[in-house]
Amino acid sequence: MTAESLAASVGLILAALASYALTGWVRNHALKHSILDHPNERSSHVSPTPRGGGLAIAAVTISGIVLLLALGQVPRNLAMALGGGGLLIAGIGWADDRAPRHQLVRLVVQVVAAILAVALIGGLPSLRIGESVIALGVFGDVVAVLGVVWLTNLYNFMDGIDGLAGGEAITAGGIAGLLLLRAGNGGLAIVTLLVVSASVGFLIWNWPPAKIFMGDVGSSLLGFLFGCLALASENTGALPLIWWVVLFMAFVVDATLTLFRRAIRKQKLYAAHREHAYQRALAPGGTHRAVTVAVLLLNLVLGLLAAVGSKRPVWAWPAVAASLFLVALLYWLVERTSPMLTTRDLIA
């Protein structure tokens, strides 16, 4: 192990410890000031629980990015995109955790942060899948902004049971970091692994049964950061964006299909509900721990497909198809066991 890699390893361990300590402080602060998530008919928990623990992830990650910039480990534009945009996302998220804000206010802030980040990263001029390169031009910039905004909200939607959002960040993000190291992009790898380390410290408190929830400040920020890292990864030729989609396929498919089905039924898209597959998987007697572990194990399989497909371009399309088929199959199995309510059920 080189001195540089040893220093990086020590730094990541310190980041996890700092996140753990800060999460404990946030929990005490939330209890003292009644920043609690109270259960209702649509909740997956049964007792009031402190929220906003993702503030620790935000503080550690953004501070770490500033330090990495000072050390010359991260390009200035990427640091500004992640740090500046991340502050906006974390700020509105923390404000919403303390007192709910209008959804339009949150959306405006998210769009501004996404536009800022995409401009600094360089947009999305092209997309690589295996040996194919798809030129996108200006259209790619629009897709990039919409994608970052969607992932920011998608991750928030999927933060509904103990350990799931933090575990997703650790497994999917951790594999992405390792693949970036394999590709030789140490800068993107260290930032990605920094996010992972901050999530480890938080997850110790959030593992079932959770002692504190992540809140919008953490879930929205994680979605935003991973979206920006995926764009930067594509543009630098390190790890194509498609493999980030594969790694986060469990979240992408569940959130997108659920939102699409609610839109077809003309339901409010931002209204709280329990129609995601991971939530419905609890209905037949599943536990938070069992569902979370199942998703994390799925991520390991998706990670294997991403590792193989990104290493051998000729296997790219089969790997993408296999990942989509696997996640869709599991979604269908949940639907068979605990189907989403029909319009007639809702009226009744």
In this prediction, residue 347 has a pLDDT band, given cuts at 50, 70 and 90, of very low
pLDDT digits (tens, 9 = 90+) for 194-210: 999 999 999 999 999 99
pLDDT at 242: 96
The span from the CA of 284 to the CA of 288, in Å, is: 12
Q: pLDDT tens across 267-283, in order?
A: 876 777 788 889 888 87
What pLDDT, on the 0 to 100 scale, is given for residue 344? Answer: 41
d(CA 56, CA 276): 27
Predicted pLDDT at 45: 65
The pLDDT value given to residue 87: 97
pLDDT grade for 131, boundaries at 50, 70 and 90: confident
Contacts of 167 (CB under 8 A, 6+ apart): 203, 292, 295, 296
Note the pLDDT of residue 169. 98
pLDDT band per the 50, 70, 90 thresholds, residue 29 = very high
CA atoms in the 13 A half-sphere facing the CB of 203: 20
42: confidence class by pLDDT, cuts 50, 70, 90: low
**For range 260-268, the mean pLDDT:** 84
What's the whole-number mean pLDDT along residues 212-227?
Answer: 97
pTM of the model: 0.94
pLDDT at 238 over 50: yes
97, amino acid identity: D
- Count CA within 13 A, CB hemisphere, residue 118: 22
pLDDT at 275: 85
User: Mean per-residue pLDDT for 85-101?
Assistant: 93
Asked whether residue 211 carries a pLDDT value surpassing 60, the answer given is yes
Confidence of residue 285 (pLDDT cuts 50, 70, 90): confident
Cβ-based neighbours of 148, under 8 Å, separated by 6 or more: 113, 114, 117, 118, 224, 227, 228, 231
For residue 174, pLDDT over 90 is answered with yes
Q: Which of 47-61, 89-103, 133-147, 266-280 has the lowest mean pLDDT?
A: 266-280
pLDDT of residue 348: 35
Residue 1 has pLDDT above 80, yes or no: no
In SS3 terms, the chain reads as CCHHHHHHHHHHHHHHHHHHHHHHHHHHHHHHCCCEECCCCCCCCCCCEECCCHHHHHHHHHHHHHHHHHCCCCCHHHHHHHHHHHHHHHHHHHHHHHCCCCHHHHHHHHHHHHHHHHHHHCCCCEEEECCEEEECCHHHHHHHHHHHHHHHHHHHHCCCCCCHHHHHHHHHHHHHHHHHHHHCCHHHHHHHHHHHHHHHHHHHHHCCCCCCCCHHHHHHHHHHHHHHHHHHHHHHCCCCHHHHHHHCHHHHHHHHHHHHHHHHCCCCCCCCCCCCHHHHCCCCCCCHHHHHHHHHHHHHHHHHHHHHHHHCHHHHHHHHHHHHHHHHHHHHHHHHHCCCCCHHHHHC
Question: Tokens 């480890």 — which residue?
Answer: 200
Task: Confirm if 219 and 96 have CB atoms less than 8 A apart.
Answer: no
Return the higher-pLDDT residue of 100 and 30: 30
Tell whether the model's pLDDT for residue 16 goes beyond 60. Answer: yes
A 10 A CB-CB count for 348 gives 7
Query: What is the structure's pLDDT at 43?
Result: 59
